[in-house]
Homo-oligomer: A and B are copies of this chain.
C-alpha cells in the first residue's frame, strides 16, 4: 500500500533530523528568541531580499491562519475567502472561533479575482445600513490553492492594487508555497509576495519539515505585539528552537525549493502519465496536488494498493480523487501507480 494521501505522511527531510540531533544538547532560550530562530529569520529575510519584515515561526497552518486573522482585525471585520478556502471549509470554524466572519466568494479554480474582491467590498461599503453588515477587511488567498492552482504575478498584483486602494489587508496562506513557487507555471518570487502582500507564510509542514510555518509580516502596522497573540492562542512553542533549526535547514541552501521541485516533478509525471491514458482532470494543476477523474470501479480497484482522498463526486459513476506528492514521494511508486492504472483501465 503506497500513500498519495497528502504531503505530510512521512517524518521530515533527513537534513532536518540530522540538524535536530546535532543541536540536541545545546542549551537555548525558549519561545523563539534563540540563535537558531534568529539565524532562520535572517536566512528567510535574505531569501525575500528585504530586511524590514517580521518573521514568526508557528507550528501549523490552521494555527497561523487563525492567529494572523485575529491579530490583524477588529471585532466587526471579516475575512474574504473563496468558498473553497481552507479557512472556510477545513478549519472547524477556527476563524469564527476568534469572532470573525468569513465572507465567501464563489470560485471555480480556487482563486479570487481582483474584480470580485472589489465588488464585494464596494457593495458592503455602499449598503445603506452598512453597520448591520460585517466589514470585509482582510483578503485571504492560498498559493498554491486548495485545488492545486496558482496565482500569476499579474493576478496577485491586481489583487494587491485593489487591497491598497480599498484599505484591505492581503494575507496569503502559503501552506503549499514551496510547490507554488517551484511550479513550471509560476512567475512569483518570495520578494514579490513581500512587496504585494501584507503578510504571508512559508509552509514547512507540507514541504519537508516535521512541522512549522514561517509567517512573514511585511506591513508595519500589523507588526506590533504579534508574539502576545501567539502565546495567547497556545502557539508559542517552548522549545522554539525546533522551528528555527528546521527553517535553517531548509533555507541555509536551496533545500526548501529543491524538495518542493521534486514534489512537483512527481506530480507532473503522474499528470502526464494519466493524461496519456486519456484520464481527465478536475483542475488544471501545475503543483503537487492533482485531481484525476476515474470511474468508481477504477477507484475501487486502485484503493486496494494505494491510499488517496476521494475529492468530488462528478456524476453517478465518476469520482475525482486527489493525489498528492511530496519531498518524499518515490519515483518507483509513481511509475508503479501509472502501470496499475493502465492495467485497470
Query: Interface of A with B (CB < 8 Å)?
Result: 2-3, 5-6, 8-12, 14, 17, 20-21, 23-31, 59-67, 70-71, 74-76, 78, 89-94, 96-102, 128-129, 131-135, 205-206, 210-211, 225, 227-239, 241-242, 307, 309-310, 328
Pick the contact of A234: B5, B129, B131, B235 (CB < 8 A).
Answer: B235
**Chain B: minimal CB distance from A320 (Å):** 15
The verdict on A232 contacting B28 (CB below 8 Å), with A75-B71, A128-B309, A211-B242 known, is: no
Q: Are A94 and B232 in contact (CB under 8 A)?
A: yes
Q: Are B97 and A60 in contact (CB under 8 A)?
A: no
Q: In the assembly, what is the distance between CA of A91 and CA of B101, in Å? A: 11
Contacts of A60 in B (CB 8 A): 234, 236-238
Contacts of A135 in B (CB 8 A): 225, 228
Q: Are A27 and B2 in contact (CB under 8 A)?
A: yes
User: Most B CB atoms within 10 A — which of A25, A70, A93?
Assistant: A93
Q: In the assembly, what is the distance between CA of A310 and CA of B30, in Å? A: 16
The verdict on A31 contacting B92 (CB below 8 Å), with A234-B235, A328-B25 known, is: no
Contacts of A310 in B (CB 8 A): 128
Tell me the number of copies of this protein.
Answer: 4
| 18 residue pairs A–B, Cβ–Cβ below 8 Å | A8-B239, A9-B28, A11-B20, A31-B129, A63-B234, A65-B234, A75-B229, A76-B232, A91-B234, A92-B132, A92-B229, A93-B232, A96-B99, A128-B309, A131-B225, A131-B228, A132-B231, A135-B225
Q: In the assembly, what is the distance between CA of A305 and CA of B124, in Å? A: 27
Q: Are A78 and B93 in contact (CB under 8 A)?
A: yes
Secondary structure at the A interface, as helix, strand, loop or mixed, is loop
Q: Are B11 and A24 in contact (CB under 8 A)?
A: yes
Give the nearest-CB partner of A307 in chain B: B27
Q: Are B11 and A232 in contact (CB under 8 A)?
A: no
Q: Are A94 and B210 in contact (CB under 8 A)?
A: no
Q: Are B27 and A10 in contact (CB under 8 A)?
A: yes
Q: Are A17 and B14 in contact (CB under 8 A)?
A: no
Q: Are B11 and A228 in contact (CB under 8 A)?
A: no
Q: In the assembly, what is the distance between CA of A17 and CA of B230, in Å? A: 27
Q: In the assembly, what is the distance between CA of A67 and CA of B26, in Å? A: 31
Q: Are A225 and B97 in contact (CB under 8 A)?
A: no
**Chain B: minimal CB distance from A154 (Å):** 30
The verdict on A211 contacting B231 (CB below 8 Å), with A25-B328, A99-B99, A129-B31 known, is: no
Contacts of A21 in B (CB 8 A): 17, 21
User: Most B CB atoms within 10 A — which of A27, A66, A135, A234?
Assistant: A234
Q: In the assembly, what is the distance between CA of A30 and CA of B91, in Å? A: 15
Q: In the assembly, what is the distance between CA of A232 and CA of B63, in Å? A: 9
